Structure 1
Amino acid sequence: MSETGQKQTHGFQTEVKQLLQLMIHSLYSNKEIFLRELVSNAADASDKLRFKALQNADLFEGDANLRVRISADAENNTVTISDNGIGMTHDEIVAHLGTIAKSGTADFFSKLSGDQAKDSQLIGQFGVGFYSAFIVADKVTVRSRAAGAASNEAVEWSSEGEGEFTVQAIEKSGRGTDIILHLKEDEKEYADEWRLRSIVTKYSDHISVAVEMLSPEVEAVAEEKDDEGNVVRPAIEAKPAQWEAINKATALWTREKADISDEEYNEFYKHVSHDFADPLLWEHNKVEGKTEYTSLLYIPSKAPFDMYNREKQHGLKLYVQRVFIMDDAEQFMPTYLRFVKGLLDSNDLPLNVSREILQDNKVTQAIRKGCTKRVLKMLEKLGNKDAEKYQSFWDEFGQVLKEGPAEDMANKEQIAKLLRFSSTETDSAVQNVSLPQYVERMKDGQDKIYYVVADSFEAAKNSPHLEVFRKKGIEVLLLADRIDEWLVSHLTEFDGKQLQSVTRGGLDLGEMDDAETKEAQEKLEQEFDDVISRVKAALEGKVKDVKVSHRLTDSPACIVTDEHDMSSQMAKLMASVGQEVPETLPIFEVNVEHELVKHVAETQDEDQFKQWSEVLFDQATLAERGSLKDPASYVARLNKLMLSLTNR
């Protein structure tokens, strides 16, 4: 630590510089949220001190009355937000106020459009509470001393939001943090105490820590009487200005649901999540019985930018008997529900509970089970009640929910009901078909749920494997998300119906193929048995088998995966994450009724027959997998065959 008075100058992280420019240029139409964000941070600092003091009461330094104080100085055009919470050390203040410790920053900035309304929503999803101070201030000073540190170990951070900040050691008698906002000339309204009071009442009434402001000073007034001796105005005793709480300072989740307005629930969500948008929906529930706890669970309306980072800490705020214990208690929510925000307050966990104790705790497991079912029930209810609202949820969080069947075997069927897909019955890539809807629309005699997995919606929609299904009017689910192959490898059935890939070998449409159709298929196989043998010889070493196709009506050929082999999409998925992929040969199916295949069958020159067979195989591979191992050889063969046709 440097000696008192010595300044150190640091440069902001690149992402912070960009963000500050957006803040400074007033992206927010609702500027007053700066106070909500700073008060929320101050309340969090108080919660963290209360938790640490469970192990070391000396951190209270004789003052266990935790609070946040707001004061305005109209003459100097400043606003100060002070707390007596945990405070920060020199290293913590440099790390917390000089960088954005979140993944997805590049993605965040790439999505900025220049439209102030849209960009402010993006910033809200990103979560940048402290930096909102620069919406109204052209200079911000932070003075902080960590609880338990000496008075000369305090630190002052200061910046004008221009790309640099300074840090120096100072003396500070009390623990905690003071944030001084030097307001811009056109933001003087925020130096008015009544304006600040109204903002706190609007946004921070629910915070369990007292938010205090000085009451007006009262001058003494003598008693007044009329001519008849009646008191017309009683005497008023002089009162000095004193700190008074201006919020309810009661934990919102401990109140009765009937007494809490939607606006209060919305503001509390913004406090716990640091999101700027209202949540999509929430559930406030008190559980009594063997395990007693209160949960307040929120589904956000927008996904954060780091949602797909499974390694990032996620989870709920944990309180024990209304005492804050930890942020991001991931033990209470499975990873596939990592988008859920909110809190838990348990009566059955010890106050000194740690992450290690939570890991194998039976109470934890019971609460996790209850909260998981609660969220799934919330989503099921939303899907049944409001399809449009559920679609907005699915568009934001659907790919994460698709991780569920692999992770949560106990709730697999319930999760499956929540999934949405595109299908051959829809005209766009919008995923709005549920499995119950698919089952309800199944054809007479259909006993399987058919699907195709491809790299894109267009590739899935135009897959040659769908031809016989279109001919018979059978709906097929079109799966194009990267996780879909992983999903169907774990979700193998629904409602007693097997999920069947149309790209797998041995296609059997069961009762949907009549005896006449099956007889015609057998006749074709016998008729073209010699041709199939020739193709098999021409492609020896490249295919596992060659068969007459009964799934193609318009395309000349396709490749399919043997029933027990790894699919091409799963192989791509494994390769993309650096896994070794076993080499497997596909089954090659040819449409013997296609004119091109008939032409090949009539080719007597064995060299040309081999080249035609290889071209058909490469085309089928290209249609299924999107690439070839040796595209140059394919082009050379195709050119040679084209020349041979033109020379006839």
Structure 2
Amino acid sequence: MSTATFEFQVEARQLLQLMIHSVYSNKDVFLRELVSNASDALDKLRLEKLRDDALDADVSDLHIEIDVDKDARTLTVRDNGIGMSYDEVGQLIGTIANSGTATFLKELQEAKDAAGAEGLIGQFGVGFYAGFMVADEVTLVTRRAGESRGTRWTSRGEGTYTLEPVDDAPQGTSVTLHLKPADPANQLHDYTSPWKIREIIKRYSDFITWPIRMVPEGAAAADGTGDEEVPPAPETLNSTKALWARPRDEVSEDEYHELYKHIGHDWRDPLETIRLQAEGTFEYQALLFLPAHAPHDLFTRDVKRGVQLYVKRVFIMDDCEALLPPYLRFVKGVVDAADLSLNVSREILQQDRHIEMMRRRLTKKVLSTVKDMMAKDQDRYATFWREFGAVLKEGLVTDTENSDALLAIASFASTHHDTEPTTLKQYVERMKDGQEDIYYLTGESRQSIENSPHMEAFRDRGIEVLLLTDAVDEVWVDAVGEYEGKKLRSVAKGRIDLDAGDDGTDDAEKEKKEKREKQTEEFAGLLGWMTEQLDEDIKEVRLSSRLTASPACIVSDANDLTPALENMYRAMGQEVPRAKRILELNPDHQLVKGLHQAYREREDHTELAGTAELLHGLAVLAEGGRPKDPARFVKLMADRLERAL
């Protein structure tokens, strides 16, 4: 097999040009990314060897090595890890189709500052290409463990790359950067200087568990006999001791943050760092991080989730889903167990009682940390809930064991305040005398909910309503049902009588009660006739006690699914029958009064059927829906307007 030349895909060429012509102030991230890739390769080889004793691979001294050559202006990052086959090089290095490149480029263009743009490199798995920020040419030589032949990949980042087999490649991967000409005016970016390499490794990669070595300056050193020269001993640049295994007072916040950036593929510092050490019959250590921002794929189906699992400091897997529930999928970190089998598989993990113990403890620790944050730092809590509240509320549906803890840390928009969210505890403390339920309304946005006809009577009486705008809100309120004995009740479902708690002794309340009873009797004929006219779409027409300004509204029966929930189930492939809903009329509105008067005065009600349809259509529109037959609705509306003129 001879040397072959290939073209990069279009997005890869765009990315390479961006890297080559980079104007970012901090180019040091290229070395962080190459070292991170090398560390991953060593982890994978260690795990592969544990699973397959017959694998022909040397694991006696796994390490990362950095060599610099001032004269040739090259920098090489070498590891003796898993390596890659010829086909893998073409798939993983030659193209980046699976690296989220389109999203990366879009976010890169939208990044508000250079630091943010630089950090995106690692987030989208394109760290290898960061080498082109400092190099005119990049050469990669690799041999997959267990194979006899290696591969050389070379590119100047100008649209093509070459692949060729090599017979003498060592196990692992080496990446050699042919550095751009030195800038005499900027020695801070001289990547052939050992002090610069030490500085970058200490800052970004001190937490790497594999030794990162560099050969000191000087070609050789005397062995003491005068006959031969031996190479100097390589210098280990990082501490090599796992961060989570070091005493807390020996680890700085910066070191924690760099570990988070390494495993979380995030350029920003975490919002919170959580350390946990369990001792006793089953020992383990955990170092978890709460991100400051939600990842772009938080709600993507089949997204990889979970924390890294180690056993006795040996890396086992990257995304251990069994250690945290799905609603905590944004949590990043490391768990290091002492007593699990080293050849543990994902299938075994799902059944291991120790894993279940850790899952329960880690979940409670994360939730208690958020609760502490809520009590001590409202600004940080507000950031956390804004970014992850929607996904955390999934736990109210799936994790009954921790539902009380989740309710305690949840907060919601409400009519009590335009900007400040409220907790359920605060809502209950503010409830009016005689109020028995916690009222809420779901919708697409705060504005649409506040403008809903269902809110009118609550607004007039100053009764607080929770404004729920996340898709999951439709589900969890039914799953939870109540809080501290107070029922969670939608203002758009069932009968709402806000005067039901009055004893009727006050003259004004007595007058209102008598008026309602009289109107119910007077409107009985119209309500029955409209129920028959609209039978295909509704189950009942009745008078409303929740309307004060609008002529009509649509409500669901107390035990029916809302239309939004029906649509959600259908989107998931579950067929549910479409429930007929209820049309409520405001007997004090002039439109309803006029219809009622016309109904009483005429024997033939045929011409009134169109007005009944219009009332129903207006109610559907008011809640954000659309009439069943929009063209007919428009025709009826135009006809009524014409008559009015």
State the TM-score, normalized to the length of structure 2: 0.91
> 1:141 is matched with which residue?
139
1:295 aligns with 2:286: yes
CA distance in structure 1 between the aligned counterparts of 2:350 and 2:134, rounded to whole angstroms: 44
**Aligned pair in 2 of structure 1 residues 23, 396: CA closer, same or farther (>3 Å)?**
farther
1:422 aligns with 2:413: yes
The correspondence of residues 486-635 of structure 1 with structure 2, limited to 5 A, is 486-509=475-498, 512-515=501-504, 516=509, 517-603=512-598, 604=602, 606-635=605-634
Structure 2, unaligned runs of 5 or more: 184-188
- What SS is found at the alignment partner of 1:190? coil
1:513: how far off?
Answer: 4.3
The correspondence of residues 56-455 of structure 1 with structure 2, limited to 5 A, is 56-57=52-53, 59=55, 61-62=57-58, 64-100=60-96, 106-111=102-107, 112-113=109-110, 115-117=112-114, 118-120=116-118, 122-123=120-121, 125-150=123-148, 153-186=149-182, 189-217=190-218, 240-427=231-418, 432-455=421-444
CA distance in structure 2 between the aligned counterparts of 1:303 and 1:139, rounded to whole angstroms: 36
1:482: how far off?
Answer: 2.5
Are 1:24 and 1:135, in contact at CA under 8 Å, matched by a contact in 2? yes
CA distance in structure 2 between the aligned counterparts of 1:554 and 1:267, rounded to whole angstroms: 57
Stretch of structure 1 that moved more, 484-493 or 379-388:
484-493
CA distance in structure 1 between the aligned counterparts of 2:431 and 2:87, rounded to whole angstroms: 63
> 2:37 is matched with which residue?
41
> 1:234 is matched with which residue?
none
The AA in structure 2 aligned to 1:335 is: P
**Aligned pair in 2 of structure 1 residues 21, 422: CA closer, same or farther (>3 Å)?**
farther
1:400: how far off?
Answer: 1.5
The AA in structure 2 aligned to 1:564 is: N
CA distance in structure 1 between the aligned counterparts of 2:248 and 2:514, rounded to whole angstroms: 67
The AA in structure 2 aligned to 1:156 is: R
**Aligned pair in 2 of structure 1 residues 270, 444: CA closer, same or farther (>3 Å)?**
same
The AA in structure 1 aligned to 2:532 is: A
> 1:459 is matched with which residue?
448
Stretch of structure 1 that moved more, 118-127 or 34-43:
118-127
Match of 1:473 among 438, 458, 462: 462
Are 1:79 and 1:182, in contact at CA under 8 Å, matched by a contact in 2? yes
CA distance in structure 1 between the aligned counterparts of 2:639 and 2:592, rounded to whole angstroms: 18
Stretch of structure 1 that moved more, 440-449 or 314-323:
440-449
Match of 1:9 among 6, 25, 29: 6
CA distance in structure 2 between the aligned counterparts of 1:554 and 1:71, rounded to whole angstroms: 77
State the TM-score, normalized to the length of structure 1: 0.91
> 1:30 is matched with which residue?
26
- Matched length: 625
- What SS is found at the alignment partner of 1:487? helix
1:611: how far off?
Answer: 1.3
CA distance in structure 1 between the aligned counterparts of 2:122 and 2:58, rounded to whole angstroms: 38
| 1:447-469 C-alpha deviation (Å, 9 max, x unpaired) | 21111111232211111000111
CA distance in structure 1 between the aligned counterparts of 2:120 and 2:520, rounded to whole angstroms: 59
Are 2:534 and 2:613, in contact at CA under 8 Å, matched by a contact in 1? yes
CA distance in structure 1 between the aligned counterparts of 2:106 and 2:460, rounded to whole angstroms: 44
Structure 1, unaligned runs of 5 or more: 223-236
CA distance in structure 2 between the aligned counterparts of 1:98 and 1:388, rounded to whole angstroms: 44
1:487: how far off?
Answer: 2.7
Are 2:66 and 2:213, in contact at CA under 8 Å, matched by a contact in 1? yes
- What SS is found at the alignment partner of 1:31? coil
Q: How big is the alpha-carbon RMSD for the aligned residues of Structure 1 and Structure 2? A: 2.5
Stretch of structure 1 that moved more, 572-581 or 296-305:
572-581
**Aligned pair in 2 of structure 1 residues 102, 296: CA closer, same or farther (>3 Å)?**
farther
Are 2:543 and 2:586, in contact at CA under 8 Å, matched by a contact in 1? yes
Are 1:67 and 1:211, in contact at CA under 8 Å, matched by a contact in 2? yes
Stretch of structure 1 that moved more, 466-475 or 180-189:
180-189
The AA in structure 1 aligned to 2:607 is: Q
Stretch of structure 1 that moved more, 633-642 or 118-127:
118-127
> 2:186 is matched with which residue?
none
CA distance in structure 1 between the aligned counterparts of 2:406 and 2:100, rounded to whole angstroms: 28
**Aligned pair in 2 of structure 1 residues 538, 63: CA closer, same or farther (>3 Å)?**
closer
1:199: how far off?
Answer: 1.1
1:141: how far off?
Answer: 1.4
The AA in structure 1 aligned to 2:271 is: L
- What SS is found at the alignment partner of 1:344? strand
1:520: how far off?
Answer: 3.7
CA distance in structure 1 between the aligned counterparts of 2:539 and 2:638, rounded to whole angstroms: 27
Instruction: State the percentage of identical aligned residues.
Output: 44
**Aligned pair in 2 of structure 1 residues 266, 10: CA closer, same or farther (>3 Å)?**
same
| 1:345-370 C-alpha deviation (Å, 9 max, x unpaired) | 11121111111111111111111111
1:481: how far off?
Answer: 2.2
